[in-house]
Structure 1
Amino acid sequence: MAEYKSFKPEWAPNDNDKAFACSVMDGIDNIKDTTVGNINPKIIQGQRKKIRRKILTVDDYVDGVTRGERMVLSRAITLIESNNPAHFSKAQQVLQRLLVRTGKALRIGITGVPGAGKSTIIEAFGNMLCENGHKVAVLTIDPTSSVTKGSILGDKTRMGTLSRNQNAFIRPSPAGGTLGGVARKSRETMLMCEAAGYDIIIIETVGVGQSEVTVRSMVDFFMLVVLTGAGDELQGIKKGIMELADAIVINKADGDNLLKAKVSRGEYERMIEYIRPATEGWKTHAYLCSALKKTGLLELWQVINAFVSATKAKGSFQKRRDNQLLAWVHSMIDEHLHNLFFDDPVINGRMPEVREAVLMGKISPTQAVAELIQVFDIERAAKKRVDLFNTSQ
């Protein structure tokens, strides 16, 4: 057997006894018996070569995504999500060349309170669509910790059967503190999935709230998943998420909860009467569904198809997509100007003094902003910043 040596760490208290629980064990480099565990003998002998992933070119990304290769698609999305300026430029080149293959998929947004069963519905619904010959891409947005900046990314685990389906692609992403839980690069990720041949894109958001309406600016059909006993009618008709929903789905309508779900459906139908339609030419209704029993899913798909037909006939479908593209341009302008301002060395040099003056009450926040804007030279800032948007490199 191998001889494992252990020793106490440097931070161990001086007066500790043998009962002290913490110790440091030698690494595998000091293990002589290569039969222990799963240690590769070549590691000890120094014969194993370091595995290097191939650096993909723009052509590699475009060809791989076009052929629907899931691994290349995953790496392309990782490239999009990167904050490295060099990666940004490369990602834009890939996206620009794939743009002609986008815009043909149906985009569905699903939101709801935590515990409403959004992931369960998506798995059952996605499996049904795959069985009917569709290719489904699911983009799930996980909450990001404001302390550690990390997230669990557990939606792919909860969709076990769908993640193993060859006609499905699930991509969990951290929200990164973005308003509404929609990741900053979700729009470009969605386009990349469309270019890979997925004809149905489902975006699941974190939860319901005033900020959750961000997802409305990305999708064609917006679905709100609710539970029974959600509250009184006055709460339901308050301005917020309900006025943006194209369908309200009451989940877990099975077993002893079926009767309560039917009552809730009637309540939501009465609430909808007081709310302006979310989409021109479409009347929102409430529907029953059980992701566990897989009931109501086919009806829901029929409702979505009816929505597409009705809105395309009236022109509101394309009008919404056009408005979304313009909103996307405006948000990118805001982001770029924000980065130009806060990356400017002159602003960074002036900021500590202004911040202290505001906290000491010497100047108002409005006056502080005016002073910073006055010293900001956008032409100078733009010249010093890397040309991220040059896709001809």
Structure 2
Amino acid sequence: MPVAQKKTHPSALTENDGIEQPEIISASSVAQIQSFRKKIPTADDLVNGILAGDKTALSRAITLVESTSAAHLEKANDVIKACLPHANKSVRIGITGVPGVGKSTFIEVFGTFLTNLGKKVAVLAVDPSSSISHGSILGDKTRMEELVRNENAFIRPSASGESLGGVARKTRESIILCEACGFDTILIETVGVGQSETAVHSMVDFFLLLNLAGAGDELQGIKRGIMEMADAIVINKADGDNIKRARLAKTEYNRALHLFPMKNSGWSPKVTTCSALANEGIEEVWQTISDYFSLTRANGYFDKKRNEQNQYWLLETINEQLKTNFYNHPEIQKLLEENKKAVQNSEISPFAAARHLLDLYQNNTKD
């Protein structure tokens, strides 16, 4: 019988020649990153790297700060403490809007515009996490292809996890690290319109609301509370056949804003239109933000708001630490599931179970 010939076609696992590295990646930078990854940096290593403007050290420090491990807490606190004297030298801008409004495209074009002005821009993009699988796509770096390659820009997507409305648990600390690294303009992108806006508003100097024209009744299509928080409303996608609708929406929003009480800052919110896709109207957006900072720095509101935010985050940090300590307590972990089952079986009320666990925690933490 004839001998069967051996198949010559390549295996599905055959590796083809790779794509050559683009010129923007320097061999020295690659070598520096590889050497840095070989060892676990100390807190001093991270701080020195951050103060020298090293993005790799900044990324690793943010990862450390975001860690929920108790072993990383002390090291993270040391890094933040060392960086704090070098922070507070930036402007912080929160950017929000309904899903599909084009936040990522706007931020990329806006960030590129700012870097062309000589500014160093850090983008803290909060990515939504699944409440079921707890997974997260973290796709902002993929969408911001141009900005991610910009030497004067840094993009950090962070999973929202179980945080309220989609603000990463450690966004506030990440701002401090970015400022210490020399970034003078911090952009914070939220997941979308929702509860997260309250948290973002408490950590930024300027709150920008992106909106769409022709997506429904402009006066009812978004919550009044978010309108009241906004320092400016930008109608995005004002291009092509949508230009007329965008201008009409601008008029409608201007009328609506006049119904709101005067802000404590003395600033009257402005409404502008832009097209991030066509790179039009971006300069006007920045001019509006610049005018706001000129006014609030002159009347003292800028510093007053920063001080109020510091007090707010003091209390928030205490609340978070108490919550963490409670759920990590060995006795609570042991009895929590039992009390959950008892509540489910209507053997005890949720309030009585909570009171029992809190009393137990307090008794076990007394000196």
TM-score by length of 2: 0.87
Secondary structure at the counterpart of residue 294 of structure 1: coil
Q: Which runs of 5+ in 2 are unaligned?
A: 1-5, 19-33
Q: Cα distance, 1:338 vs. partner? A: 1.0
Match of 1:349 in 2: 334
Q: Cα distance, 1:305 vs. partner? A: 1.0
- Measured in 1, the distance between the counterparts of 2:238 and 2:86 equals 39
8 Å CA contact retained: 2:327, 2:333 = yes
- Measured in 2, the distance between the counterparts of 1:355 and 1:237 equals 37
- Is residue 285 of structure 2 the alignment partner of residue 293 of structure 1? no
Match of 1:273 in 2: 258
Q: Cα distance, 1:278 vs. partner? A: 4.9
Secondary structure at the counterpart of residue 173 of structure 1: strand
Match of 1:74 in 2: 59
Residues 66 and 210 of structure 1, relative CA distance in 2, 3 Å threshold: closer
Q: Cα distance, 1:276 vs. partner? A: 3.0
Q: Cα distance, 1:356 vs. partner? A: 3.1
CA-to-aligned-CA distance 1:158-204 (integer Å, 9 cap, x gap): 11111111011111111112112110011111110100000000000
Superposed counterparts of 1:1-393, under 5 Å: 53-232=38-217, 234-235=219-220, 238-377=223-362, 380-381=364-365
Q: Cα distance, 1:37 vs. partner? A: 5.2
**AA of the residue aligned to 1:137:** A
Q: Cα distance, 1:245 vs. partner? A: 0.4
Secondary structure at the counterpart of residue 208 of structure 2: strand
8 Å CA contact retained: 1:243, 1:277 = no
8 Å CA contact retained: 1:182, 1:205 = yes
**AA of the residue aligned to 1:272:** L
Q: Cα distance, 1:375 vs. partner? A: 2.0
- Measured in 2, the distance between the counterparts of 1:278 and 1:170 equals 32
- Measured in 1, the distance between the counterparts of 2:313 and 2:158 equals 19
- Measured in 1, the distance between the counterparts of 2:87 and 2:311 equals 16
Secondary structure at the counterpart of residue 129 of structure 2: coil
- Measured in 1, the distance between the counterparts of 2:365 and 2:142 equals 44
- Measured in 2, the distance between the counterparts of 1:277 and 1:26 equals 66
Secondary structure at the counterpart of residue 276 of structure 1: coil
CA-to-aligned-CA distance 1:58-87 (integer Å, 9 cap, x gap): 221111111101111111111111122222
Match of 1:389 in 2: none
Residues 111 and 328 of structure 1, relative CA distance in 2, 3 Å threshold: same
**AA of the residue aligned to 2:258:** E
Q: Which runs of 5+ in 1 are unaligned?
A: 5-24, 28-34, 40-49, 384-393
8 Å CA contact retained: 2:270, 2:288 = no
- Measured in 2, the distance between the counterparts of 1:161 and 1:382 equals 55
- Measured in 2, the distance between the counterparts of 1:311 and 1:58 equals 36
- Measured in 2, the distance between the counterparts of 1:237 and 1:160 equals 30
CA-to-aligned-CA distance 1:250-294 (integer Å, 9 cap, x gap): 001112111110000011111112223455211112111111121
- Measured in 1, the distance between the counterparts of 2:208 and 2:199 equals 13
Q: Cα distance, 1:122 vs. partner? A: 0.8
Match of 2:31 in 1: none
Match of 1:390 in 2: none
- Measured in 1, the distance between the counterparts of 2:40 and 2:218 equals 56
**AA of the residue aligned to 1:126:** G
Query: What is the percentage of aligned positions where both structures have the same residue?
Result: 51
Secondary structure at the counterpart of residue 210 of structure 2: strand
**AA of the residue aligned to 1:317:** F
- Measured in 2, the distance between the counterparts of 1:288 and 1:279 equals 25
- Measured in 1, the distance between the counterparts of 2:262 and 2:140 equals 31
**AA of the residue aligned to 2:247:** K
- Measured in 1, the distance between the counterparts of 2:197 and 2:166 equals 7
- Measured in 2, the distance between the counterparts of 1:185 and 1:332 equals 10
**AA of the residue aligned to 1:113:** V
Secondary structure at the counterpart of residue 377 of structure 1: helix
Residues 278 and 213 of structure 1, relative CA distance in 2, 3 Å threshold: farther
- Measured in 1, the distance between the counterparts of 2:167 and 2:108 equals 20
* Greater shift in the superposed pair: 275-284 or 109-118: 275-284
